[in-house]
Chains A and B, each alone.
Chain A
Amino acid sequence: MGKIVIDNNRCKSCYICTETCPKGLIKKSNKTNRLGDYMVEFDDPKGECIGCAMCAKRCPDMAITEVYR
């Protein structure tokens, strides 16, 4: 069981995290940022996140600021 914190001010919607998460828990959101890009959101209703931090390690903008396990 783990969790992540996403800083939407830093996210530039490159979506690398969505392809990196082994559990597919990071998804394109319906919300847009001020550039009109769809932001990402952490969606883990079943508590599947293992806190591997792969998303944070591959985020080029350090928009995933915290990972807990």
Chain B
Amino acid sequence: MQQVFSIPKSMKKDFKYTFCPGCDHGIAIRLVAEVIDELGIREDIISSTSVGCSVFLYDFLDVDCVEAPHGRALASATGVKRARPDKIVFTYSGDGDFASIGLAESMHTALRGERVTSFCINNTTYGMTGGQLGPTTMMGQVTTTSPTGRNREYYGYPIKVAEHIALCDGTAYSARVALDSIPHINEAKKAIKKAFQVQLDGLGFGFVEILSSCPTNWHLSPEGAHKRIREEMIPVFPLGVFKDITENK
């Protein structure tokens, strides 16, 4: 028999995820690790993570990593890339980190067209602090700080990150993917690879927004959470590639 699945080599030896049961962070990190393996770039990577569940990436991925204050991963990544343009730089953030506290840093990194790759896990809530309203919380969604659901009067509207990043002239690639099903997971991996490839080719900023589950704070079973991604999130946050400057070339 032939081995058709194994743990990516870019994962740390004897790692054990500390995420809640059913959390899609584990899948997202695995896909990043598989892409790093396939591109053969592990030894050239310097990553940056800031604050939230996403920060523990450095406990699992066997790559160099510098921690940044909350929201500043993209600024930190800019510093790394400018200092060492020969290295491959990526960030891994949650939606609060990337699109709320760090929106200025994220947008300007895209606008400058920094040759870095960035992943934003969108689970429509602040996971680590226990499920509060975040920048991507959907209209009507109940969180611990929107007990009657998100409404326009009190909370305003959620942000569609991948579309906004696609509007930046420095962005080479921007896509939104999901991790709720096998076809979507396969698409997600392709997008992650592409986001790295545009950096390797020196084309500009590569970005993937990843719709991901948070069963604990959504108070749903792991599969129930995936059903929510399919039925509630994807209609609001449509999947697809919003910018790809390599198309039609």
Residues of A at the B interface (CB closer than 8 Å) are 1-3, 9-10, 12-16, 19-20, 51, 53-54, 56-62, 64-69
Contacts and interface: CB of A to CB of B under 8 A. Distances in A.
Interface in B1-56: 1-7, 11, 16-17, 19-27, 30
Given A1-B1, A60-B21, A68-B3, 7 more contacts: A16-B22, A57-B185, A59-B27, A60-B25, A61-B16, A61-B17, A68-B2
Given A12-B21, A14-B21, A14-B222, A61 B26 contact: yes
A8 to B, nearest CB: 12
A12 B3 CA distance: 24
A53 B1 contact: no
A67 B3 contact: yes
B22 A60 contact: yes
B223 interface: yes
B182 A57 contact: yes
Contacts of B2: 68-69
A64 B3 CA distance: 13
Contact of A68 (B4, B20, B182, B185): B4
B26 A66 contact: no
Contacts of B11: 62
21 contacts: A1-B1, A9-B16, A10-B16, A12-B20, A13-B21, A14-B21, A14-B215, A14-B222, A15-B222, A58-B27, A60-B17, A60-B24, A62-B7, A62-B30, A65-B6, A66-B3, A66-B6, A68-B1, A68-B2, A68-B3, A69-B2
Residue of B24, B30, B185, B215 with most partner-chain A CB within 10 A? B30
A65 B7 contact: yes
B100 to A, nearest CB: 24
Contacts of B27: 57-60
Given A10-B16, A60-B26, A67 B222 contact: no
B18 to A, nearest CB: 10
B23 A56 contact: no
Contact of A62 (B21, B26, B185, B223): B26
A64 B20 CA distance: 17
Contact of B1 (A51, A57, A59, A65): A51
